Homo-oligomer: A and B are copies of this chain.
Amino acid sequence: MIEPALTDSSEYPSLLIVDDDEVFCGVLSKALTKRGFSITCAHTIEEALSLAETATPEYAIVDLKLSSESGLVLVEKLRNLDPGTRIVMLTGYASIATAVEAIKLGATHYLAKPVDADEIMAAFERTVGEANIPISAHPLSVGRLEWEYIQRILTENDNNISVTARILNMHRRTLQRKLAKRPLRE
């Protein structure tokens, strides 16, 4: 066992998670610790930077939307601190424009939520030239992805089915039906 105090010099690679959603940080933190990383969490850009200046992390997971600011600037700064840092940008509000910018700023990869820990792992390993190392991540089925996504948007909107349906650009009747037959395994 390694003593928790020595995270810096730990034999585990250091990984900084930056996301303003504390619950999300917690869940991810736990999942990645189990996979052998030494995790630190930050909820704002300032916090992330002061942590990174003390000890630059080897890996970072940055949310695009950090309260009001853009996680993009953080990507740039982390890279300036240490060009070797591997950064995955994560977001619930994905767009091609921000993806392009993130990669240009030096992010290793860009993923839209929902994602699971394995997919993030795979993203860190990934290099340009196609699928060299077949990572055994087990991605969600499309059905499952849709279900998770719907649940998130629904929650964000007070469980208002009509509003959610409009946002998701689907018919209220359809959403009703999808929600009705909820037991979706896979």
> Using a CB–CB distance below 8 Å, which chain A residues touch chain B?
64-65, 70, 72, 76, 92-101, 103-105, 109-112, 122, 126, 128-131, 133, 135-143, 145-146, 148-150, 152-153, 155-158, 167-170, 186
Oligomer copy total: 2
Contact A130 B158, beta carbon cutoff 8 Å: yes
Please determine whether B109 and A100 come into contact, CB atoms closer than 8 angstroms.
yes
Contact of A156 among B64, B122, B143, B169 (CB under 8 A): B122
Instruction: Known A142-B169, A148-B112; judge A96-B93 contact (CB<8 A).
Output: no
Q: Would A98 and B135 be within 8 Å (CB), given that A146-B142, A146-B145, A149-B142 are in contact?
A: yes
Point out the residues of chain B lying under 8 angstroms from A143, CB to CB. 169-170
Contact, CB under 8 Å: A99 / B96: yes
* Given A139-B153, A149-B145, A167-B139, residue A133 in contact with residue B93 (CB < 8 A): no
Closest to A70 in B: B135
Question: Nearest Cβ distance between residue A142 and chain B, in whole angstroms?
Answer: 5
The answer to whether B129 touches A105 (Cβ under 8 A) is yes
Closest-by-CB residue of B relative to A186 is B169
- A70 and B64 alpha carbons, distance in the complex (Å): 29
By a CB distance below 8 angstroms, the chain B residues around A141 are 167-170
Closest residue of chain B to A89 (Cβ to Cβ) is B100
Q: Which residues of B contact A186 (CB under 8 A)?
A: 169
A97 CB contacts on chain B under 8 angstroms:
133
16 A-B pairs in the complex with CB atoms less than 8 angstroms apart? A70-B133, A70-B135, A72-B133, A76-B129, A96-B112, A98-B135, A100-B100, A101-B128, A104-B128, A130-B155, A139-B153, A141-B167, A141-B170, A142-B150, A142-B168, A145-B146
